[in-house]
Amino acid sequence: MGVTRTPRDRWIEEGLQALAAGGPDAVRVEALAKELGVTKGGFYGSFADRDALLEAMLDTWERESTDEVLDRIQREGGDPRTQIRRAGVLTFSSDRLLPIDLAVRDWARRDEAVAERLRRVDNRRMALLREMIGTFCSDPDEVEARSLVAFCVAIGEHFLVADHGARTRAQVLARATDLLLDRPPRSTTAPSEDPPGRRRAAPR
């Protein structure tokens, strides 16, 4: 009977979880094999080397963060404001994608190729924001500014540890979202939808 090979996708998934937990240095073949309960010899049936695994991990992250998110918001429809919020929730409030995204950003500070990959992903995200915000804002400069601020809030909120007085972080984020999307403010006493990026992660 032949030896059952660990599927390639499992190596990639385990690598992404290691990246999210400890950065690229934590993505080690021996450690991944141990987590998977297999020998590291099976790794080379799927990947030429560790660099090939890292590239496949980035491919998976990019696809899930852009193509799959865009496909879902287009499939589920809704007005532009709803689509912006859904994209933010899928990306920056996701227990899966958020830790990986933050780890890739940290990695990009030290690796030019990863930085180029991140730039490509962020440009697609910004393009969506411009398109959606442009449906209710006609000033191109304001569209660009709102898109930038929305993106910065979605990412930076996970690193900010400041307090907000009598207000909760969720209330402040909800009001910021209303301002950016040009919506009337929601009541702070009634339950409201969680805005994009509510889940915070510790700074790396």
- What would the pLDDT profile of 65-78 be if each residue is shown by its tens digit? 999 999 999 999 99
Whole-number pLDDT of residue 6: 78
pTM of the model: 0.84
pLDDT band for 40, please (50, 70, 90 cuts): confident
- Domain ranges in the chain are 8-180
Among residues 184, 182, 189, 202, the alpha carbon closest in space to that of 84 is found at: 182
Per CATH, the architecture of 8-180 is what? Orthogonal Bundle (1.10)
